[in-house]
Amino acid sequence: MICVSLGRTRHSAMRQGHQQLAEQKAELVELRVDWLRKRPDIGSLLKDRPTPVVVTCRRPEDKGLWKGDEEQRRAVLREAIIAGAEYVDIEIDIAQSIPRYGKTKRIISYHNFDETPIELYDIYHKLAQGDPDIIKIVTMANAPSDNVRVLEMLRAADVPTVAFCMGEFGTISRILCGQRGAPFTYAGFSSEREMAPGQLTYAETRNLYRFNKITPQTKIFGVIGDPIAHSLSPLLHNTAFRKTGFDGVYLPLRIPADFLAETLDEFEKLDISGYSVTIPHKEEVLDFANVPDLQVDLIGAANTLFKRDGAWQATNTDFDAISETIANALSLDTNTKPQLTGKRVLILGAGGVARAAVAAMQQCGAVVVVTNRSKDRAKTLAQELDCLQIAWANRGSEMCDILINCTSVGMHPKVDESPYEQHWLRESMLVFDTVYTPENTMLLKHARQRDCTTATGLEMFVRQAARQFNLFTGLEAPVEYMMETLRRYLSAAR
């Protein structure tokens, strides 16, 4: 079950929001009465309420907005109990002064906005002394592993307990707490009014992560990187899980560079089945995988970790995604490598994606030429992957059949830029831009105007995720559906 926190400054807006949430099938709503500008009229808020409620009146030291004095606040909580609220949130230090009455259930709570303390079990036992129906422990995660400690404590709890972490590191425990026995998690009504740091919205919790469908059997996956908040991978993978009926959940897992080894070790306790890997971990993550992989050896970086027979294996699905995208643009079978013998491919850029493109095109038999703004980087890449290299200034005079942009030029917000002049493009060329925000980059617009064949970064992005999906689940990915979902999302976000 998801408890949706609702804070409004006026009673009428609070009632209206509550009604809206009921229409959106919310099963439990937390009325944050400390948000109200006037003294809470509990009777009017609870009369004919459309869903069960938790009444919470948070004081300023717990990041609440209550402006009255402490005695008035406790009076509001007692009133809510007398009025028959389903739950009342009572902080542990006032538990003795708010007596149990009627059917109202007591949520005895502890919040820590600074850290996840070492003594979590002591805190749990102290809360258990406060006559709880439900214990609530919410702490700030300062490292991803804080989530693991909270979830471990939750698994051991014998009183029904809601426990998770706040902050950007905390998403994983907000979503997985149900799997470890929490009777519900908390979510926000909308992203504009965040009640607690890192809180997810009701829509995200219910529709994207499908909190209510997660069981102890649900397999856990995620994308690791930093930053990660805007990653589109959770959307793609969770959509594919839902479409195929696979029992899995896929989470954004922010892991700063210095925390990688420690976090992956700790996350073993959560029984995670697979990771997508993004910047800055694509190289360091190889230390964690114990099975060699051809693609990874060629590129020197991985974008996927998956488990086979209990061992972590690394691979790079960008490699196959690039070949598949080219094959599709040339109307060839995407299940076999396109034969590009005798073709000349010019690759712009020398970063991680360029490395994957060079290796993939070489495997298809093409002659690969690389060019990069910083010459030294191109030189190193050309030496390591044994391809040709030309100066960045000369890229327009290179006669190529396929042009692949692996630089970030043209990416949002600088959408009017292109790494290649329009008059350098020829009709016979295939132009592939790996940039996918926006999908129709300036380079691709120019290429279409010159009647070139084109391929998009959005297709590559979906295909690399589809390959991961296949490794994670053993199922065929719904590629077209994933593509449609991503296009719809990106056009709505514009």
Q: Is 374 in the site for ligand NAP (CB under 6 A)?
A: yes
Beta bridge partners of 165: 139
Q: How far is the C-alpha of 109 from the C-alpha of 227, rounded, in Å?
A: 31
Judged by beta carbon, residue 54 or residue 479, the one nearer ligand NAP is 479
Residue number, 176 or 322, with CB nearest to ligand NAP: 322
User: CB-wise, 40 or 352, nearer to ligand NAP?
Assistant: 352
| Catalytic status, residue 318 | yes
Transcribe 29-40 into DSSP letters.
EEEEGGG-SSPP
User: Are the CB atoms for 387 and 362 separated by under 8 Å?
Assistant: yes
Minimum Å distance from CB 235 to ligand NAP? 14
Query: By rule CB under 6 A, what count of residues binds ligand NAP?
Result: 23
By beta-carbon proximity to ligand NAP, the closer residue of 168 and 283 is 283
Gap between the Cα atoms of 361 and 243, Å rounded? 32
Structure-token pair, residue 413: 């917000």
Residue with the shortest CB distance to ligand NAP: 351
Select the residue interacting with ligand NAP from 7, 132, 144, 349 (CB under 6 A).
Answer: 349
Question: Would residue 155 be called left, alpha or beta, if left means φ above 0 and alpha means ψ between -120 and 50 degrees?
Answer: alpha
C-alpha pair distances (Å), 23 with each of 11, 195, 204, 358: 19, 21, 17, 53
Catalytic: 230? no
Q: How far is the CB of 258 from ligand NAP (least distance, A)?
A: 20
Q: Which one of 129-137, 287-295, 404-412, 447-455 is the stretch in contact with ligand NAP (CB under 6 A)?
A: 404-412
| Of the residues 315, 316, 434, 485, which one makes contact with ligand NAP according to CB under 6 A | 434
Binds ligand NAP (CB under 6 A): choice among 105, 219, 307, 373: 373
Exposure b/e, 80-107, CB count within 10 A at least 16 = b: bbebebbbbbbbbeebeebeeeeebbbb
Q: Where are the alpha helices (DSSP H) in 157-197?
A: 171-176
Among residues 89, 226, 318, 320, which one is catalytic? 318
Nearest to ligand NAP of 248, 349 (CB atom): 349
- Residue closer to ligand NAP by CB (options 241, 461) is 461
* DSSP, residue by residue, 195-228: SSTTPPBHHIIIIIS-GGG--TT-EEEEEEESS-
Distance, CA of 411 to CA of 441 (rounded, Å): 7
Shortest Å distance, C-beta 333 to ligand NAP: 21
> Which of 210, 207, 217 is CA-nearest to residue 179?
217
Q: Which range binds ligand NAP by CB under 6 A, 13-21, 92-100, 103-111, 345-353?
A: 345-353
The label of the residue with tokens 């350098």 reads 424
Q: Are 60 and 34 in contact (CB under 8 A)?
A: no
Burial class of residue 244 in the structure, from the number of CB atoms within 10 Å of its CB (0-12 exposed, 13-18 middle, 19+ buried): middle
Distance, in Å, from the CA atom of 327 to the CA atom of 479, rounded to the nearest integer, reads 15
Range 459-488, binding ligand NAP (CB under 6 A): 460-461, 464
Active site residue 11: no
Binding residue for ligand NAP, selected from 447, 457, 466, 477, defined by CB under 6 A:
457
Residue 419, token pair as written in the block: 């790494």
Q: Among 104-112, 136-144, 291-299, 367-375, which window interacts with ligand NAP (CB under 6 A)?
A: 367-375
DSSP state of 291: B
Among 51, 328, 334, 408, binds ligand NAP (CB under 6 A): 408
Q: Label residue 41 exposed, middle or buried (CB < 10 Å: 0-12, 13-18, 19+).
A: middle
Cβ-proximal residues to 98 (8 Å cutoff; 6+ apart), any chain: 74, 77, 78, 81, 88, 90, 106
Q: Which of 136, 237, 281, 343 is catalytic?
A: 136
378, 357 contact by CB (below 8 A) = no
Find the part of the chain contacting ligand NAP (CB under 6 A) among 32-40, 263-271, 433-441, 468-476.
433-441
Answer for which of 57, 95, 353, 483 binds ligand NAP (CB under 6 A) is 353
Q: Which of 367, 317, 376 is nearest to 347 (CA)?
A: 367
105 or 377, CB closer to ligand NAP?
377
Q: Which residue has the tokens 């994957």?
A: 356
Can 125 be counted among the known catalytic residues?
no
Which residue among 160, 183, 351, 478 contacts ligand NAP (CB under 6 A)?
351
Q: How far is the CB of 385 from ligand NAP (least distance, A)?
A: 14
436, 446, 469, 472: which one contacts ligand NAP (CB under 6 A)?
436
Structure tokens at 229: 């908040």
Tokens describing residue 254: 């922010």
Q: Is 144 in the site for ligand NAP (CB under 6 A)?
A: no
Q: Which stretch binds ligand NAP (CB under 6 A): 178-186, 201-209, 252-260, 352-360?
A: 352-360
**Residue 276 is a binding residue for ligand NAP (CB under 6 A):** no
Please say which residue, 206 or 395, places its beta carbon nearer to ligand NAP. 395
**Of residues 132, 188, 198, 352, which one binds ligand NAP by CB under 6 A?**
352
CA 78 to chain centre: 40
Among 377, 379, 426, 450, the residue binding ligand NAP under the rule CB under 6 A is 377
- The residues binding ligand NAP (CB under 6 A) are 349-354, 372-374, 377, 406-409, 411, 419, 434-436, 457, 460-461, 464
Residues recognised as catalytic: 111, 136, 282, 318
